[in-house]
Structures are given as structure tokens and as C-alpha cells.
Amino acid sequence: MAAEGTEKYFKNEPDLSPNSVTVLKKRYLHRNGQHTETPKELFIRVAKNIAMAEAKFDKSADVNAVADVFYNEMASLRFLPNSPTLMNAGNALQQLSACFVLPVEDSLEGIFEAVKYTAMIHKSGGGTGFSFSRLRPKEDSVQTTKGVSSGPVSFMSVFDAATETIKQGGMRRGANMGILRVDHPDIMDFIYAKADKSKLTNFNLSVGITEPFMKSVKDGSDFDLLSPRTNAKAGSLNARKVFNEMVRLAWEGGDPGIVFLDRINNENPTPAEGEIESTNPCGEQPLLPYESCNLGSINLARFVKDGAVDWSALEKTVKIAVRFLDNVIEMNNYPIPQIDAMTKKNRKIGLGIMGWADMLVMLGIAYDSHEAISLAEKVMKFIRDKGREMSAELAEQRGSFPGFDKSVYPSKGFKAMRNATITTIAPTGTISIIAGASSGIEPYFALAYYRNVMDNNKLPEVNPLFVERAKAEGFYSEALMDKLAKNGNTHDLPEVPEKWRRVFVTAHEIEPVWHVKMQAAFQKYTDNAVSKTVNFQSDATIEDVENAYMLAYDLGCKGITIYRDGSRDNQVLNIGKAEPQNQAGQEAQAKTGPKARPSVLVGKTVEMATGCGKMYVTINQDEEGKVFEVFTSIGKAGGCAQSQSEAIGRLISLALRTGIKPEFIVRQLKGISCHMKFGFGARTVHSCADAVGKALEEAINHPVEFNVIRQDALTVDSILENMNKEQEGKHHVSNGACPECGGPIEHVEGCNVCHSCGYSHCS
């Protein structure tokens, strides 16, 4: 597909696995009538489009030669840009950035202007970050209307609803980051905003932590709340109690995370342009209002040669990648003029990495070791330094970014600098699948899993580096691979030598302290921030999470996100009136056992669209017209989704046949929320359980009002009291099956990702 005169270019074929090709076909390749773009044509399209920027700076530039260089880096999987660039470079949309930060001003006009811009960004395929810290707290006066403000948390729901409604070109799903300063008077409402898991489902939340707050946490003192409207003191809270509550809620469900705002602004390379208030949705890119992030990642697995890091080859790729990303800024079609202007003013890029776990195992180094931490610092310092050298070289040719000040970090020592920031460690969920690499700087989630194939057969999918090592060391066997697929790790597999059990360690085998240490090691030499999930096993304590938070602060991280296995609640909490007295009688009746099933029943089947595919709910009635049993069948997801749906049907049937009224069952099922929804507004199906509840409600034609959790706490102490009560009897579930292919979902880099088909909840 090379143009006339370019036959000597683009000769190498892409080095892709079958799984990589599948993901590209499903999510990236363009279609034009009967023709579907090939992977090679995709890389040529992107390379040629991004190389066109060369002519803007040098009329005599050999654009095709530069495009060939870019092509070879991508086709060899040494470097890949972020997904929007792969999808959109060279097409009509030409929106190449993954994420943006928008200001939210303290006025109705400013708020809804931000909502409008959010819709435009999501339509173009980007994600958005916001600070709601400028908004006056609830009950504060609004002089223009003589009324009172409803507060930032209430307005966040407007942004959430807009995100839920927008389809991102059919290819990417909207994601948001919401940040509130810890000294905002509504901070406790914000901290508790996602305790009800059906709320703000399109948001990640992080508390903006200040240095005075952390000092108060350590000495147990109170800290001041400040009115964003007047900057006057608006109350005080005990810092330790607020911190403990953040930790407790993160332990329970992952939100909120924290970002250290003062630390971020201490390293702001353009302080004259304003204060950094927010980050992009996954937290790794602190940005000024109206800035965008232009990201790409180097695949470290491609830079191990003869058992050592190939530093010379890595330097070459770093410099090509910096040139590529600077060109992206020129070729980008930004959603609104303000973003165009601000991005070109500071020209921030974010060069990161993937394949870190792969590099470690190729070098025979355990992830949770001092040797790995030392290498992490060495690798990232090398990438940062060589990246800065290239940015300075580009500045000599093209000019420094307009706000360049050689006295300000990180530009010290350079007479010119093209880009305000160079390095970011971003999530690489889908592009790491294309590259056949481990995600970002994360350890392996699992070494093997079962892949569903035709006729309900399951085949073990095993990490290729493990297979290679097992064969080389003589401990490979089909039986071992099958055991590995069942276990996911080598922990209880004595067939694997101890050395390789250490090297091939997985995320949940690693103590959280090592996750934090690894994040801090990379942060030390990263201009922006680091996307990293600190994984905890399901039995981790609240104190374990607290220790990780404090360690992240002490080691210099710019934020932290944790995930405790199975901690995503499957059900809306219900606090309200007790059930009617007659339920006690029904429960007593249940002890006598279920009724026998008649040989003939009549009923109907209701089709429900869910995030896991179409679900068919069959509801049968007995001869008295009472609902007697429920059967469920789900479409393409299979595996875990089907088994869970079948279990729900069986338990409902058991409850019905023992005399429990269907209204009570509907009440329990409706509103249960998972990470995959379907539909919009009042027609949203929050989960498979929610779908069954709604189908059952339709069948009995008896609408039921059910109570969702309300939180009106005004003090930290009252929240703590409520939270202690609510911990009793909670049930947690793991991430479940991919809604598109039924494969296992991995919670990594703050997002749910399927490595079987490339599905990502964040994109």
C-alpha cells in the first residue's frame, strides 16, 4: 500500500502473534467497503501521517525516510503510541491524544461549559480529568439567585451522566478522573461518594493531598478546611480520622485513591502557566487545565540481548520515540481551541514503558527484589536522560516550547528544551497485548489461564517466556501447563525449580511493600507520574493499606492506587426500614424445605441486554399463577458469566419454592452493580443480577421501590460508626469474565483488562 516512490520503504513485516492480530482486527484496523486494513497497512498509515510533521520544520525533509524509521519501530514492537494515535492517525478524526484535563469553574455557566467540552472530548475518543475544588461547598450562598449551592459531589453526577450517554466513535468508552482537595469543606462527602457502587461509575476518584494535611496526619492534629470562594477557614477536621476513612474505603472498594498535589506542583515545569489541579483518568499524567497527554511506550522485552540490557539499541528507540511524540503534537486535531493552544504552548509528552516484568524474567531477576528495584532506577534514568537529550536536540532545530525556563525543573542544564515533560509511565493495557508484552511496570497477573474455544473446550494459555524457560531447563510437560492454568502461578508446583518460582512471581504473591517500592523507583526518574496498581490479597487488613499509603508518601510517589482482590462490591448497600413482619413467617416456612416441582408449568421468557451479552430469563408459574421458578441463559460471554447466572436462577427458584415472595427477591437483585453496564439513563442494566431482578419484576408486573444507601454524615466520627456497622455480612466478588469473550479479567493499572481479546473497561 506504499505510495509511488516509496517502494524501498516499509519492507519489514510486523512481528505479531495471532492474539495481537486478533486484537488489531477487532479494535484498530480501518475498514473501507470490502477491504479491511492489514496490520502492516495500519503501521504504515500511522508512520506516514506522523512523519508529515517533519515538513513543517524542514521543507527539504525526506518524510518517507522518517516514516520508514517510525514504521520499523512499531512493526518490530519496540515502540507503540497510545491507542488513539493507532486508531485515528491518517483518518478524518485525527484525534491522537488519550486524555485531557478541563477546568471546572465556580459558576453554573462554567460547570456546564465543562460538561459540553467533556462530551466533545469523549466523542473524539479521549478521557477527561477534573478538579472540583473550585466549586463552593454545599449550603454555601449563591448571591445571584439568593439560594444555596448543592456542592461539588452533586455536580459530578452531571458529568457522570454525560459520560454514560456518549458513545466514543464506537471504539472507546469514556473515563473520568475526579479530584477534590483534602481541605475542601465537602471532602467527607467526596470521600464517600462511591460507597454506593451504582454511583459515579464512570469516575475514578482521588483526594488531592497537601503537605500540611500529611503533617497533621503524622502528628494526629486537626487541619483547616478552606472555603474555595473566600479562602477563609470553613471548619476543621482531625487529619488522622479523615486519613483513616480514606484508607478504609480504599480497602473496601479501591476508591478513593490519593494524589500528592503539593509534591506534583513542586515539580511543575511551567509554574508561570498556573497550578496543576488534576490528572488524567488513570492518574499518571498531571496536567494544567486544557492540556492533553500525548503518550507512547517502549517495549523493554525487545531490549534484552545475550542476557543483558542492550543500552545502545534502547537509546536509539528512546530518541526516535521522542521525535515521534513531538510530531504527534503537530499532527493532532484537538477537540477544542483552548486545548490546541495550551498543548502547543507546553508540548508535554509522556514516553513510558511496557514489558518490565518480561525484561526481569529474561534477566533472571525476581520482581520483588532489591536487584529489580536497582535496575528499575537505572533503566528509567537512562530513558529520561536520553529523552531529554533528544528534546534539547529538537529544540535546537524547531525551537523550545514557549514557556521554557532553563532555571526550572526539569530543564536544568539545557539551553533549550522542546517539551516541558518527557516521561510518563502510563497504562498499556491494549497496546501491551499488541506488543505481546507485560503491562507497564506491573508484574504478571497470572502465568497461565484457560482460554475458551469452540464447543466449550478450554485450552491452557501459558506465558511464552515460562514455556521457553521450562523447555530450556527440562521441566516442561503438558501436565504442568495444565496445572499452571488452574493455579495461575507456580506457588504450589514443586515441579518448577525454586529459582524460577521466584523469578516468575505473580502480582498477588508479591507483598504490597514491593509494589510501592517499584512504583517509587520508577517515579524517581519520571517527569510526570506512574500508573501502578498496588495489589493486595483479599485477606489484607485496613492497616496493610494504611502502611502502603504512608510508604508511598515517604518514598516520593506522586499518588497511589490500591486494589484488594475481590473488593469490588457486587451489591448496593441497603440501609432503611426493616422488612414487614410477615417476612419472618416466610423465613420460618423456608425451614420446612421447598415445594415439589409439578410436572408441567407455564411461563414466559424475557430477553434482557446486559454488558455480558443477551440474557434470557425464563419465569415459570405454578397452577395458582404464582411465580415458581426462574431459569437464566446468557449469550456470548459463557464461562464465569453463565455459571453465575445459572446460580442466581437456581437460588431464586429455591427461594420461591420455599415461600419467599418474589417482591423480596426483586428488591435484593435490582440495583446490584458491576463494572460492565448496558444502556443509558433509566433503562440502564447495571449487572446480570440487576437484569434478572428487572425481568422478574416485569413478569409479576409489580413495581417495587427499594432503598439504596443514603449517607448524610456531617462528621468523620459518624461515618466511621456507619462504616463499622456496614462491614458486617458484606460479600465481595472478583472481576469475573470478559463481557466480550468470556476470558479472565485482570485489574491492572487501575483498569479492568482482558488479555484474551483486548477488551478494556477504561478504553
Could you tell me which of 50, 105, 60 has the C-alpha nearest to residue 80?
50
Residue 688 among the catalytic residues: no
Q: Phi and psi dihedrals of 681, rounded to 5?
A: 60, -135
Q: Count CB atoms within 10 A of the CB of residue 723.
A: 18
Please list, in sequence order, all residues whose beta carbon lies within 8 angstroms of the beta carbon of residue 730, skipping any fewer than 6 positions away: 569
Q: Count CB atoms within 10 A of the CB of residue 260.
A: 24
Provide the residue count of the chain. 763
Q: Phi and psi dihedrals of 663, rounded to 5?
A: -60, -40
For residue 335, CA distances in Å to 126, 290, 291 come to 9, 10, 11
C-beta separation of 504 from 361 below 8 A: yes
Place of cell 519501530: 73
Helices (H), 446-602: 464-473, 478-487, 498-503, 512-523, 542-554, 582-590
Could you tell me which of 533, 510, 522 has the C-alpha nearest to residue 556?
522
Q: State how far the Cα of 401 lies from the Cα of 420, in Å rounded to an integer.
A: 7
Residue 282 among the catalytic residues: yes
Choose the catalytic residue: 82, 202, 204, 280: 280
Dmax (CA) of the chain: 89
Could you tell me which of 601, 629, 596, 759 has the C-alpha nearest to residue 696?
629
Cell of 63: 518524510
Choose the catalytic residue: 54, 245, 252, 284: 284
SS3 category, 742: coil
Concatenating the DSSP letter of every residue in 39-97 gives: HHHHHHHHHHHHHTTHHHH-TT--HHHHHHHHHHHHHTTSEEE-HHHHHHTTSSS----
Choose the catalytic residue: 99, 282, 674, 741: 282
Q: 688-711 burial, b for 16+ CB within 10 Å, e for fewer?
A: bbbbbbbbbbbbbeeeeebeebeb
Residue 88 among the catalytic residues: no
Q: State how far the Cα of 321 lies from the Cα of 387, in Å rounded to an integer.
A: 8
User: Catalytic amino acids?
Assistant: 280, 282, 284
